[in-house]
Every structure is written in structure tokens, then in C-alpha cells.
């Protein structure tokens, strides 16, 4: 029988995830509209050479490193919150997540589970679309299994794995906030609206990995420090930010990502613009803009109810 190669069109279900330990009849959830998912196992290794020999003596495996990268368009804020929130409870990096792939390999349905993932970085860009990506480290990259083995792994009765449902809403865009002024900034006397050309935020998470001798993979992975940085581009006009930059003033920025009964807002507190680059370029064919680099102390995303 000839081999049937697969493509990215051979995914049978959307990328989905479950939080916490596997084996508890786990419920899988949608990430959103997933544009990419990479799961990589890399061997930690040492090449051994010996005097008197041209060739290596051993390529010696010392352990395994599991990494993953996820790119998606949001339809709700759960995965954004998971990647950026302080470790506290359900829905935060206090608990690991497990990401499920289901695709056709050699014309047969196969499942792959990357387990014990915790975020190392979240990247958010808000211009025409809300674009998101995240990096993770994990405990195990599973090999291809069939649905019966998946049922055993997640503790489900046969045929009753609780897969994520359909997505029936459009991904969030620059129009989803329902306002022409989604960016507002409080300089100390209330929020004022400013035109947004583009906004980016990078949330770095420092990871502590415990891998004692004798263990091929980590026994524990924990999130430690958080650092929030990014850039915001707006139209050059009279504003208070020159003085704010000069004085290192802490501001509050709020971005309306999605309108609804309970709107979804991204809020950055104690945000400090660290430069004021007033740039002129004779070759430019756009309106004059200014891009501020910033660092914020905290960031949070609110709940969303349509």
C-alpha cells in the first residue's frame, strides 16, 4: 500500500486545549482561529570526543526540552488571559495546559497531545486585526495515538471525549470594539481618547525548570517573573506625552478589544513611555506619526459577555 502524504488541510479538528492534569475526563476548549501550532522535542546532548580519534565517540542524550508556539485570532479572551495573567487560580499559568492536535496521517485519524505547557511569552498586536502568538515550554510531547488511546489518556469513557465545539463568531478586528477611539489614556485627570495606528504588547514570562539528575524531562515547570513591554503608534499632534516622557510619568492605558454586554478591555497600569522619537522623513507618504516604546508594571484583560 502506498503512503498518503498529509498537508495542513488534513486537520480534522481545530487546535484545542485543556487545563490541568490529564486523566480527569478533561474538557477541551477552543483557542480561537488557530493560524499555526508548532510542537518541538529537542534532545539536550553532549558530543563526546576522545584524543587519538577523528570521529566522535558518542552523541550522548542528556535530557529532553519540549517547546511549543501557537498563533491565533481571538474570539474570546481566555487564552490571552492565561498567557498574561499572574499565577493565581484556574485560567492562569498556576496550572499547565495540554494542547490537542487531530489530523490525518497516512489517511488515518491520529491524535497528538503536547502536555504540561506553561507560557514563556505572549505577543499581541492590535492594528487592523487582533493578532496573537505565544510560546510555551512543557513536560512531554506525545507521539501519534488513536482515539482509544486518547480516551485512556484523558480518562474519558469510550467515544465520549469532550472535544471543543464549533466556533460560530468572527475573529476580533479593529472594528470589534464598537468605537472609533478604542485607545484611551489617563495621565492623572481622567481618560482621554487618542487615535490608534498600531499597538503591540509583549509579555515575557521567566520560567523556573526543575530537572534533577536522572530525569530526562523536568519534574516541575513554574512561571516566575513577568515583564510587559511594547510599542504604540499614534498621529503626531499636541498632547501631554512629551512632558510625561521627560518626567517618567506613570500612565494608565485602556484598549477596547470587543464591545458587548460586558466589553473586553485590555488595561495597562503604571505604563511609562521611555522615548519621544519625533521623526521627519522627506520620502514618507503617510501622515506624521510617532511611535512610543513603553514598559508597564501590570496588565490585565477583562471578561467578555456578548
Q: Is residue 120 exposed (0-12), middle (13-18) or buried (19+ Cβ within 10 Å)? A: buried
Answer for the pair 204, 134: CB distance below 8 angstroms, yes or no.
Answer: no
Checking if the pLDDT of 261 tops 80, the result is yes
247-270: average pLDDT: 97
Question: In this structure, what C-alpha cell is assigned to residue 230?
Answer: 511594547
Predicted local distance difference test score (pLDDT) of residue 285: 87
Q: What percent of the chain has pLDDT over 70?
A: 100
Predicted local distance difference test score (pLDDT) of residue 63: 95
Predicted local distance difference test score (pLDDT) of residue 28: 98
Answer for the pair 74, 32: CB distance below 8 angstroms, yes or no.
Answer: yes
Q: How confident is the model at residue 88 (pLDDT cuts 50, 70, 90)?
A: very high
Mean of the per-residue pLDDT values for the chain?
95
202-220: average pLDDT: 94
DSSP 32: S
Strand ranges, E, within 5-76: 16-19, 29-30, 33-48, 58-73
Q: Rounded to two decimals, what is the model's pTM?
A: 0.94
Rounded Cα distance, 252 and 270, in Å: 6
15-34: average pLDDT: 97
Q: How confident is the model at residue 1 (pLDDT cuts 50, 70, 90)?
A: low
Q: How confident is the model at residue 267 (pLDDT cuts 50, 70, 90)?
A: very high
Checking if the pLDDT of 294 tops 70, the result is yes
Q: How confident is the model at residue 193 (pLDDT cuts 50, 70, 90)?
A: very high
* Tens digits of residue pLDDT in 43-76: 999 999 999 999 999 999 999 999 999 999 999 9
Checking if the pLDDT of 284 tops 90, the result is no
* Tens digits of residue pLDDT in 222-251: 999 999 999 999 998 877 799 999 999 999
Alpha helices in the chain (DSSP H): 78-84, 147-154, 241-247
133-152: average pLDDT: 97
Question: In this structure, what C-alpha cell is assigned to residue 78?
Answer: 481566555
Amino acid at each position: 500500500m502506498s503512503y498518503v502524504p498529509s498537508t495542513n488541510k488534513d486537520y480534522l479538528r481545530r487546535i484545542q486545549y485543556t487545563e490541568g492534569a490529564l486523566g480527569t475526563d478533561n474538557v477541551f476548549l477552543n483557542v480561537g482561529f488557530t493560524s499555526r501550532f508548532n510542537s518541538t522535542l529537542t534532545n539536550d546532548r553532549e558530543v563526546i570526543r576522545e584524543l587519538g580519534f577523528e570521529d566522535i565517540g558518542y552523541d550522548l542524550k542528556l535530557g529532553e526540552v519540549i517547546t511549543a508556539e501557537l498563533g491565533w485570532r481571538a474570539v474570546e479572551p481566555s487564552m490571552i488571559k492565561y498567557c498574561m495573567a499572574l499565577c493565581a487560580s484556574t485560567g492562569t499559568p498556576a496550572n499547565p495546559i495540554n494542547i490537542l492536535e487531530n489530523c490525518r496521517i497516512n489517511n488515518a485519524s491520529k491524535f497528538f497531545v503536547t502536555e504540561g505547557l506553561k507560557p514563556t511569552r505572549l505577543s499581541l498586536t492590535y492594528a487592523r486585526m487582533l493578532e496573537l502568538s505565544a510560546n510555551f515550554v512543557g513536560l512531554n510531547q506525545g507521539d501519534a495515538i488513536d482515539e482509544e488511546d486518547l480516551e485512556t489518556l484523558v480518562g474519558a469513557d469510550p467515544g465520549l471525549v469532550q472535544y471543543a465545539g464549533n466556533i460560530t463568531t468572527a475573529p476580533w478586528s479593529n472594528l470589534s470594539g464598537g468605537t472609533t477611539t478604542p485607545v484611551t489614556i489617563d495621565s492623572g485627570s481622567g481618560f482621554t481618547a487618542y487615535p490608534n495606528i498600531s499597538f503591540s504588547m509583549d509579555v515575557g514570562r521567566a520560567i523556573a525548570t526543575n530537572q534533577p539528575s536522572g530525569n530526562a524531562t523536568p519534574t516541575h515547570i513554574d512561571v516566575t517573573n513577568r515583564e510587559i513591554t511594547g510599542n504604540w503608534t499614534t498621529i503626531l499632534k499636541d498632547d501631554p506625552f512629551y512632558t510625561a516622557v521627560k518626567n517618567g510619568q506613570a500612565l494608565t492605558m485602556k484598549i477596547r478589544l470587543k464591545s458587548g454586554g460586558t466589553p473586553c478591555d485590555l488595561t495597562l497600569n503604571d505604563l511609562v513611555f521611555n522615548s519621544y522619537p519625533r521623526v521627519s522623513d522627506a520620502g514618507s507618504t503617510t501622515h506624521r506619526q510617532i511611535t512610543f516604546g513603553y514598559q508597564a508594571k501590570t496588565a490585565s484583560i477583562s471578561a467578555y459577555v456578548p
